[in-house]
Every structure is written in C-alpha cells, then in structure tokens.
Amino acid sequence: MSILVTGGAGFIGSHFVLDWLHGSDETVINLDALTYAGNPANLASLAGDPRHVFVHGDIADRSLLEQLLSQHRPRALVHFAAESHVDRSIHGPGEFMRTNVQGSFSLLEAVRAHWSGLDADAKAAFRFHHVSTDEVFGSLAPADPAFTEDHGYAPNSPYSASKAASDHLVRAWHHTYGLPVLTSHCSNNYGPLHFPEKLIPLMIVNALDGKPLPVYGDGQQIRDWLYVADHCSAIRAVLAGGRPGQTYNIGGCNEIANLEIVHQVCALLDELRPDPLGPYARLIRFVADRPGHDRRYAIDARKIERELGWRPAETFASGIRKTVRWYLDNPDWIASVRSGAYRDWLGKQYGTPAG
Ligand code: NAD
Ligand code: DAU
C-alpha cells in the first residue's frame, strides 16, 4: 500500500512525510515541483529509504499524474502543494491561480479518472485529503467567535481566494462525482524547516544577522499558532477517521498578536544566543502594513476533537522554544535556503534594510 503526497518537500509537507515514515512502513510517493519553497534538504534523512519515492514534477501535469496513479495505485492522496505566501500573492497572483486553482483541478481530474476505475471496495476506501487554510474564512473582529466549519467563505488576499477556489472544486468533485474527499482548514503553523519568508523564521534569521525585524502596521494582528507536528497528527487523524465530504478545522487555541510573537522570539534568542550589542528587540521596526491585511484569525477545533479525539501535543511555549533552538542548531539549512532568489524577494518586499 502507498499514499501519494503533493508538495512534500515544502515546510508542512516534509514534516508530514518524515512523521509518516517514522510511524508507518507504508510507502510515500512524494510529488513536488521544487519551487523556491521546496527543499530536498528537508528530506535528506530519507536518502536511500525505499519507502520514500520522490518525483520531481508539477501537479498540473496530467500525464505524469496518470502515470503515477496507475503505477503506484495509492490508497490515498494528501494535497499540500500550493503557492503559500500571502505577500508573494500580492506581488504576483498569477502563479497562485496556476498552481492552487488550475493545479488542484488537474489533480482532481486525474484522481477522479483513476478512482472511477477501482473496484467497489477500493473506491469506498480511497481518500483525497485537501490541505486548506483558515484564511479562506476572512478576518474576525476582536469579539467574534472563532471560525467553525460552517463559517462563510470571505477570502481577502489573492492567496486565500485561490485556496478558496480549490476548496470549492474539491467540494464539487465530492458532490457531483462522489469522490471521497476530506478538507482541513488549519491555522498558522510554525516549527523547524519553515522557509524564512514567513513571520517567525524571518524574525529568527534576521535577528541572528543583526538585521531589522519588520512588523507590519501596528503589529496587533492576531493569528492562532499551531506547531507543525500537531498539524501533521491532525491530518493523519482526519485521513484515518474523517467522514468523506466533511471539513475539519485544526488549530492550537494560541491566539497571539504579531508584536507579542516577535518579542517572544527576541526573548528566547536573548536567553539562548545573547547578542553583545544588546537585546534583540532593539531591532524591531514598524513598516508599512500588508495591503488588505486580515486582522484576526481564530479556530474553533471542537469538531476534530469531538469526532476524532485529536488535540495538539505542543503548547506555544514549548513549540516556539523547540523552533528557535532548531534554527540555532541548523545554520547550514538556513544558508542553503538563502539563495539569490531569496535575497531578491527580501529586496522587493522590504527594500534593502530588512534583507
Ligand atoms: P510551502 O510553500 O512551504 O510548500 C509548498 C510546496 O509545494 C513546496 O515544496 C513547493 O515546491 C510545492 N509546489 C508548489 N507548486 C507546485 C506545483 N505546481 N506542483 C508540485 N509541487 C508544487 O507551503 P506550506 O507552508 O508547507 O503549506 C503547505 C499547504 O498547507 C499549502 O496548501 C498551504 O495552503 C496549507 N497551509 C499552510 C499553513 C501554514 O501556516 N504554512 C497553514 C494552513 C494551511
Ligand atoms: O492562517 C494560515 C496561513 O498562515 C497559511 O494559509 C499561509 O500559507 C501561511 O503563510 C500563513 O499566512 P500569514 O499571512 O498569516 O503568515 P505570515 O507568516 O506571512 O504572517 C503572519 C503575520 O505576521 C501576518 O499578520 C503578517 C505579519 N508579518 C509577516 C511578515 C512576513 C509581519 O508583520 N512582518 C513580516 O515581515
């Protein structure tokens, strides 16, 4: 038996593949286009492991998908592959439409063709797990209740609009064709292997370089942070016991404002790698806000806890300490992702001071 994972060289996908093979001998076929966000170094510990079959390719490549599905006959597919960074979607939405919408459509069509030809038992057991985000629900006011699975869609960025579009395709393929799909909406992940364009890893690597820590607007935007291993355990729980056609919200009950996150990162660095020039918080700079910036996300994760018994294992205090420690212990990984393209991105987004 095998499962097919898309985007398994990215941040969450590589954690999922590593955790899966840590707990199971079931082969993982890992399809990834290795964009700037895909990093084979994330999977270095699997070199020579026959349970991991890495395929360098695009989810929009129908013939490749058909070949992989007929060759490996996976019992399930977990779809992580996406363009995932909101700021990049604001600068250039085209790639988000191509991968997140068109790519997800190609994947659904290839899987539907494969699934239609299975025998009745295999058809009933097959699962297509779509990894979505809480951002499709839009922004909450301070006193609003957290997002439930029934919250209306209100995506505000090109990224979240493209993810919302893919969610609708997945839903329709279940409703119309009967494809056994599962969709999960997770809040902000953090942890090792996180590409340093996102808030937490950017703050860690900039602080270690003595560079400015750019906080958008007033820094009071709130996200609901979840350690990446907890997201992976939640996906395994949904894959194993989720009801086809259902959606599951995943979150850590850790609503924290961005400025507070940055201060916590600085405090941990002060403790673990003190800077002779002074506390890292001296590097904080308030910069122009993100256009259309969502003010608050919060997840109501009672459904997945009630139906599947999932709860996060990590608190924010334990998870952020592990995360900062990992970046301190892995300077080679940091160096490997800071290519010319990465520096170009920092220049485009922040101008030279933050890069
Ligand atoms: P990431 O940007 O780190 O990784 C994305 C991966 O997809 C990369 O390995 C990249 O090479 C691959 N990829 C991109 N386009 C591809 C294509 N056309 N074909 C094949 N592979 C392609 O993203 P991430 O943060 O690991 O997020 C993974 C998924 O989880 C995404 O679908 C994202 O929307 C969702 N999600 C992320 C978060 C978060 O906080 N990071 C939270 C909730 C949901
Ligand atoms: O909520 C889930 C989403 O979380 C995922 O779907 C996305 O793929 C993932 O990238 C993440 O989106 P965010 O936009 O919330 O994450 P990001 O790390 O880019 O930003 C977190 C917050 O920090 C956000 O309010 C913007 C702010 N920020 C970000 C950066 C990069 C800053 O203040 N300064 C920065 O330099």
- ∠ Cα 256 260 261 (to 5°): 75
In sequence order, the 6+-apart residues with CB closer than 8 A to the CB of 212 are: 206, 283, 284, 285, 350, 353, 354
| 35 CA: nearest ligand 1 atom | 11
Instruction: Identify the burial level of 278 via C-beta atoms within 10 angstroms of its C-beta, where 0-12 means exposed, 13-18 middle and 19 or more buried.
Output: exposed
**Residue 339: which pLDDT band, with cuts at 50, 70 and 90?**
confident
| Token pair for 45 | 């510990």
Domain segments of the chain as ranges: 2-190+225-254+296-314
Residue 136: the pLDDT is: 98
| 219 CA: nearest ligand 2 atom | 33
Q: Could you identify the residue written with the tokens 């922004």?
A: 139
Under a CB-based contact definition with an 8 Å cutoff, are residues 72 and 114 in contact?
Answer: no
Residue nearest to atom 10 of ligand 2 (CA): 85
355 pLDDT exceeds 70? Answer: no
Q: Is 288 helix (H, G, I), strand (E, B) or coil?
A: coil
Residue 262, Cβ neighbours under 10 Å: how many?
23
Under a CB-based contact definition with an 8 Å cutoff, are residues 350 and 287 in contact?
Answer: yes
How far apart are the C-alpha atoms of 46 and 107, rounded to whole Å? 26
- pTM of the predicted model as reported, rounded to 2 decimal places: 0.98
Residue pLDDT, tens place only, 25-45: 999 999 999 999 999 999 999
Residue pLDDT, tens place only, 41-60: 999 999 999 999 999 999 99
How far apart are the C-alpha atoms of 16 and 11, rounded to whole Å? 9
DSSP assignment string, 299-331? B--HHHHHHH----S--HHHHHHHHHHHHHH-H
Residue pLDDT, tens place only, 217-234: 999 999 999 999 999 999
Distances in Å between the Cα of 95 and the Cα atoms of 100, 164, 210, 233 are 8, 15, 33, 29
Residue pLDDT, tens place only, 237-289: 999 999 999 999 999 999 999 999 999 999 999 999 999 999 999 999 999 99
In the reported structure, the alpha carbon of residue 99 is separated from the centroid of ligand 2 by a whole-number distance in angstroms of 20
Under a CB-based contact definition with an 8 Å cutoff, are residues 286 and 221 in contact?
Answer: no
354 pLDDT exceeds 70? Answer: no
Pocket test for ligand 1, best of 11, 39, 249 (most atoms within 8 A of CB): 11
Residue 44, Cβ neighbours under 10 Å: how many?
10
Q: Is 147 helix (H, G, I), strand (E, B) or coil?
A: strand
Residue nearest to atom 21 of ligand 2 (CA): 199
Residue pLDDT, tens place only, 157-175: 999 999 999 999 999 999 9
Residue nearest to atom 37 of ligand 1 (CA): 133
In the reported structure, the alpha carbon of residue 253 is separated from the centroid of ligand 2 by a whole-number distance in angstroms of 17
Which ligand minimizes its atom distance to the CA of 213? 2
How far apart are the C-alpha atoms of 154 and 139, rounded to whole Å? 8
Segment 82-104 mean pLDDT: 98
Residues with CB under 6 A from ligand 1: 6-7, 9-13, 31-35, 37-38, 58-60, 80-82, 84, 99, 103, 131, 133, 163, 186, 188-189, 195
How far apart are the C-alpha atoms of 322 and 317, rounded to whole Å? 9
In the reported structure, the alpha carbon of residue 355 is separated from the centroid of ligand 2 by a whole-number distance in angstroms of 17
In the reported structure, the alpha carbon of residue 275 is separated from the centroid of ligand 1 by a whole-number distance in angstroms of 34
Active site residues: 134-135, 159
Segment 74-89 mean pLDDT: 98
How far apart are the C-alpha atoms of 298 and 254, rounded to whole Å? 8
Residues with CB under 6 A from ligand 2: 84-86, 133-135, 187-188, 198-199, 202, 214-216, 221, 223, 258, 290, 297
**Residue 353: which pLDDT band, with cuts at 50, 70 and 90?**
very low
In sequence order, the 6+-apart residues with CB closer than 8 A to the CB of 38 are: 7, 9, 10, 32
Residue 352: the pLDDT is: 64
Q: Which CATH superfamily is domain 2-190+225-254+296-314 in?
A: NAD(P)-binding Rossmann-like Domain (3.40.50.720)
**Residue 344: which pLDDT band, with cuts at 50, 70 and 90?**
very high
Q: Could you identify the residue written with the tokens 């985007």?
A: 7
Instruction: Return the C-alpha torsion angle 222, 227, 231, 237, nearest 10.
Output: -120
Q: What does the mean pLDDT of the chain come to?
A: 97
Residue pLDDT, tens place only, 283-326: 999 999 999 999 999 999 999 999 999 999 999 999 999 999 99
Under a CB-based contact definition with an 8 Å cutoff, are residues 265 and 200 in contact?
Answer: yes
